[in-house]
Copies of this chain bind each other. A is one copy, B any other.
Amino acid sequence: MTTATTTVHDRYPTRLTEAAPMMRRPDPTVWGEADGPFTPEQVAAYDAKGFHIQDGLLTPAQVQSCWTEFTRLAADREVAASGAVVRERDSDAVRSIFAVHRHSPVIDALARTPRILDRARQILGSEVYIHQSRINAMPGMVGTGFGWHSDFETWHAEDGLPAPRTVSLSIALTDNFPFNGGLMLMPGAHRVFVPCIGETPDANFRESLQEQTIGVPSDEAVTELGLEFGIEQFTGPAGDALFFDANSMHASSNNITPFSRANVFLVFNSVENAPAAPFGGRTPRPSHIADRDTTPLTPLRSTEFA
């Protein structure tokens, strides 16, 4: 009798016991050459920088619908009981609500709006589904930031996404000023994968969604990348949107102003990049944080989200 074993080669090793050098990522940023809403110049810039800012993606009325949904979900006991609500570490203020595309028909429709869905398909060169969705409130005065990190590092280690074939979309629901904790990105650093040190604790997400300490690059790596690539910031009025690569190196500072900085956040993953077993952890994270249902999103009929 023989035992057949399958070995999955991990091209993005992380959560290591000792330091490993940064590496050029083996995968592309733009997958294929599909046509879509992005112009060729926008696609080229996305490829080079790892992100694209789309002014006025939502109208004020659409922003208001999303905001109304946030308010509703933040007060919904079933949503809270599902574990989808994360609060600030030092206050009861709502920091994030997860799986908003599951809990809200408005957000579900938003994700399937052609001008959004077709952009994700264009970059990823395939059908897509939602790996994660959330609304981040970043409340005024008490909002704490997110240190420098690559989302893909966590999605690979803890959720089992094989490759960074993923586009994230952050839509401003309130004005994003330069000074209220706006997202900072290092243009071009998405092409560099930074292996991180430290084993993943069980149920790490309970801590990491408030303050991430595992799966974060060293200060030395951040300094090196910062000096090589510089920093740009996503700022703009409510309705503006940022599309960015899963491996973008990004961070946000605390918000000590009275102006909240709320954003809706949708992560589109390619159906050809379905989650496997976690590469750096034991148990996949719960489905409200990392959805494992890879059913492709169907485009919205034009009447559903005016």
Residues of A in contact with B (beta carbons under 8 Å apart): 140-141, 145, 147-148, 177-179, 181-182, 184, 219, 222-223, 226-227, 231, 233, 235, 251, 253-259
Q: What residues on B are CB-neighbors of A259 within 8 Å? A: 226, 231
Q: Say yes or no: B256 contacts A256, CB within 8 Å.
A: no
Q: Say yes or no: A140 contacts B223, CB within 8 Å.
A: yes
Q: What residues on B are CB-neighbors of A140 within 8 Å? A: 223, 226
A-B contacts, 16 of them at CB < 8 A, read A140-B223, A145-B254, A145-B256, A147-B256, A177-B231, A178-B233, A179-B182, A179-B231, A179-B253, A184-B257, A226-B257, A227-B258, A231-B259, A251-B257, A253-B253, A253-B256
Q: What residues on B are CB-neighbors of A253 within 8 Å? A: 179, 181, 253-256
Bound CA span A249–B10, Å? 53
Q: Say yes or no: B179 contacts A222, CB within 8 Å.
A: no
Q: What residues on B are CB-neighbors of A235 within 8 Å? A: 178
Q: A179-B233, A231-B179 are in contact. Are A141 and B219 (CB under 8 A)?
A: yes
Report A194 CB to chain B, min CB distance, Å.
Answer: 14
Q: What residues on B are CB-neighbors of A256 within 8 Å? A: 145, 147-148, 251, 253
Q: Say yes or no: A258 contacts B147, CB within 8 Å.
A: no
Q: Say yes or no: B226 contacts A258, CB within 8 Å.
A: yes
Q: What residues on B are CB-neighbors of A147 within 8 Å? A: 256
Q: What residues on B are CB-neighbors of A254 within 8 Å? A: 145, 253-254
- Closest residue on chain B to residue A259 by CB atoms: B226
Q: Say yes or no: B251 contacts A141, CB within 8 Å.
A: no
User: Most B CB atoms within 10 A — which of A140, A141, A182?
Assistant: A141
Bound CA span A256–B226, Å? 11
